[in-house]
Structure formats: structure tokens, C-alpha cells
Amino acid sequence: MLQLKQIYKVFNEGSLDEKIALNHLSLSLEEGDFVTVIGSNGAGKSTLLNVIAGRITPDDGDVQIKDRSMLDVREYKRSRYIGRVFQDPMAGTAPTLTIEENLAIAYSRVHKRSLKPGVTAKRRVFFKEQLEMLGLGLENRLSAKVGLLSGGERQALSLLMATFTKPDILLLDEHTAALDPSRAELITNLTKKLVEKGNLTTLMITHNMQQAVDLGNRLIMMDKGQIVFQAEGNQKQGLTVNSLLEEFSKIKSDSSLSDKALLI
């Protein structure tokens, strides 16, 4: 479904600030793979997601979705294939528009050939059904402005908007990190439910080791723009936070990383 081939990205090349963010990184995801991505600050995790989404162009390598290179596909066009949720609950939705208007925008991004844009009666029924799955009562507040929602409610809506169109790839960029623990748990559980329901191919960055262990069928650990450890299948299921920290300590000796940096 997703293939990253030898992705290389350097920032500020040739200057004192030169930083190799992705160092010939390759990764292949099958349909339905749910990969948790961990690593210290500056390991290249967000750059990786930005390269997939088309926000950053790699200096070398290729990004393929369903065997088609995406390098010539601009970010706004890739959003037809890619759903994304950011750390900031304010980032994924338009605050001055209503819940149903936000959903209509996400819907029309994918169903471009639809003759009737906006909110139709049929679509309203569909939106209500989708919102019911969140279990937050938002299906009864279709005309409420999104700016009035709490951070958790807004992030749940962002997650729904990123998933209900069944994107080929779902990118989650520390999407629970800005929420209080109970709301973070709610969004984590919703993520599990929506990803499983849609069998979505997903990459999720997290600094929460427990979350990285609990979610998904694969895990990758990044350091200095490379994948330094990965687990899948039974090995992934058998991982614990302690075993991850042990793996981490193996790369720590020749790096400036610390447990704290990984666990933030």
C-alpha cells in the first residue's frame, strides 16, 4: 500500500545548521498495517510524515502509494489519499463552520464528482451515523460551531474527518499529546476502533511508550533519520515498555539520547 524507498532529506545543506532529517529510510506497509512510530526529539518522525503527506519534498528517494509515485502529486491533491490528524486539536477543523459543514468539506475532498456540494439531507443522515460512533453526542449538535467544542471533542471530530472517507493512508502525528489523560484515552480508544473498522493503513507517532506497545501490529523506532528497531506480529504483541527501553538503551551508548527524551 505504502512504499518509502531510500528517502533522504537534509535541511540547511552546506551550512553549520545542516541536519540530515531522513537518512536513506525505507519502509513498506501492507494494507491494514498499523505502525506506531517512536524515537527521540529530532529523530525525523514528523519529517517522515511530512514527506508522505507532500508537505516536504525529499532530496532523494520515492514515496509510492498503491505502486504509484507521489512525488509529482502536490500536498492538497494527496489529501484525497491521505488522512491526517495533528497534535493541535485546532489544526484539523474550521472553527467558524458547523460540525456538519466541516464534515461536508472532508466528504467533498474525496467525492469530487458529487453534483451536490455541501450538506444534503442524505448526507446529513450519513454524518449523524458517523458521529454516533464517537459516543460524544455530537450527532445532536450538527449545527454547532466547531470553535465551541472542547479540545477532546474537536480532536475526535478531526479523527472522524480523517478516517470516514477511508483514506489509503492515515497519518497520526502525536494526536493525543495535547489532551488531558482521560481525553487522550478516549481518542486512543476511538483511534483503535476507527482504524480497525476501516482496516486503515496507519502510521502513528507517539511519545507514549504504553500507547506504542498497546496499539497497532507493527512498531518502528527511529534515531537520526533511520529506523533502528522494528517489530511486528508476535514480536510486536510481546513488547513491553521495559523491553522497548532496553532496545532504546542499545542505541543510546553512541548517541546523545536519554530515556527522558524518548518518553516526553
Name the residues that contact ligand ATP, by CB under 6 A. Answer: 11-12, 19, 21, 39, 41-47
Backbone angles phi, psi at 56, to 5 degrees: -120, 135
Residue 48 near residue 37 (C-beta atoms within 8 A): yes
What pairs with residue 28 in β-bridges?
3
Please report how close the Cβ of residue 72 comes to ligand ATP at its closest, in angstroms: 21
Please report how close the Cβ of residue 150 comes to ligand ATP at its closest, in angstroms: 24
Please report how close the Cβ of residue 251 comes to ligand ATP at its closest, in angstroms: 14
Please report how close the Cβ of residue 4 comes to ligand ATP at its closest, in angstroms: 14
Instruction: Round to whole Å and give the CA distance between 215 and 169.
Output: 16
Backbone angles phi, psi at 20, to 5 degrees: -85, 105
Output the CA–CA distances (angstroms, integers) from residue 156 to 50, 152, 180, in the order listed.
Answer: 22, 6, 14
Please report how close the Cβ of residue 63 comes to ligand ATP at its closest, in angstroms: 15
Considering beta carbons, is residue 57 or 120 the nearer one to ligand ATP?
57
Task: Provide CB contacts within 8 A for 57, sequence distance 6+.
Answer: 51, 71
Considering beta carbons, is residue 43 or 138 the nearer one to ligand ATP?
43
Considering beta carbons, is residue 19 or 128 the nearer one to ligand ATP?
19
What pairs with residue 126 in β-bridges?
none
Considering beta carbons, is residue 45 or 78 the nearer one to ligand ATP?
45
**The residue type at 72:** D
Task: Provide CB contacts within 8 A for 121, sequence distance 6+.
Answer: none
Considering beta carbons, is residue 41 or 210 the nearer one to ligand ATP?
41
